[in-house]
Amino acid sequence: MPIRKKEEEQETHGAQDNPLGDPRAFRGYRTNLQKLAESTKKSEFLPSFSRSFGGFVIEVAKIIIIALLIIKPIHAFLLQPFYVKGASMEPTFRNNEYLIVDQLSYRLHDPRRGDVVVIRNPFQPDEFFIKRIIGLPADRLLIADGRITVFDAVHPDGQALDESAYLSSGSFTPGHTEVTLGVEEYYVLGDNRTASLDSRTFGPIERRAIVGRTAVRAWPIYRAQTFQTPTYPLPSPAAT
- Residues 98, 185 within the same domain: yes
Residues 95 and 25 in one domain: no
Please list the active-site residues: 88, 131
Q: What is the 3-state secondary structure (H, E, C) of the chain?
A: CHHHHHHHHHHHHHHHHCCCCCHHHHHHHHHHHHHHHHHHHHHHHCCCHHHHHHHHHHHHHHHHHHHHHHHHHHHHHHEEEEECCCCCCCCCCCCCCEEEEECCHHHHCCCCCCCEEEEECCCCCCCEEEEEEEECCCCEEEEECEEEEEECCCCCCCEECCCCCCCCCCCCECCCEEEECCCCEEEEECCCCCCCCCHHHHCCEEHHHEEEEEEEEEECHHHCEECCCCCCCCCCHHHC
Domain boundary among 26, 42, 58: 42
> Domain for residue 62, yes or no?
no
Residue 92 in any domain: the answer is: yes
Domain contains 66: no
In a domain, 239, yes or no: no
Domain that holds residue 22: 2-42
85, 201: one domain = yes
Residue 149 and residue 141 in contact, taking contact as beta carbons nearer than 8 Å = yes
Residues 236, 183: Cα–Cα separation, whole Å: 23
Q: How many CA atoms lie within 13 A of 59 on its CB side?
A: 6
Of the candidates 181, 173, 174, the one whose C-alpha atom is nearest the C-alpha of residue 152 is 181
Between CA 187 and CA 44 the distance in angstroms is 70
Q: What is the pLDDT of residue 229?
A: 86
Mark whether 92 and 209 lie in a shared domain: yes
- Same domain, residue pair 136 and 32: no
Give a yes or no: residue 175 inside a domain: yes
**Does any domain span residue 51?**
no
| Global confidence as pTM | 0.65
| pLDDT score at 48 | 54
Q: How many domains does the chain have?
A: 2
What CATH number is given to the structural domain containing 217?
2.10.109.10
What string of pLDDT tens digits covers the 240 residues of the chain?
454 544 444 444 444 444 445 555 545 444 455 555 555 444 444 455 555 666 667 777 766 666 555 555 555 545 577 878 888 999 999 998 988 888 888 888 899 999 999 999 988 888 889 999 999 999 999 999 999 999 988 888 888 899 988 988 888 899 899 999 999 999 999 999 998 999 999 999 999 999 989 988 888 889 988 888 888 765 544 333
Q: Verify that 88 and 135 share a domain, yes or no.
A: yes
Q: In this structure, are 16 and 85 located in the same domain?
A: no
35 and 109 in one domain? Answer: no
Query: What pLDDT was estimated at residue 14?
Result: 46
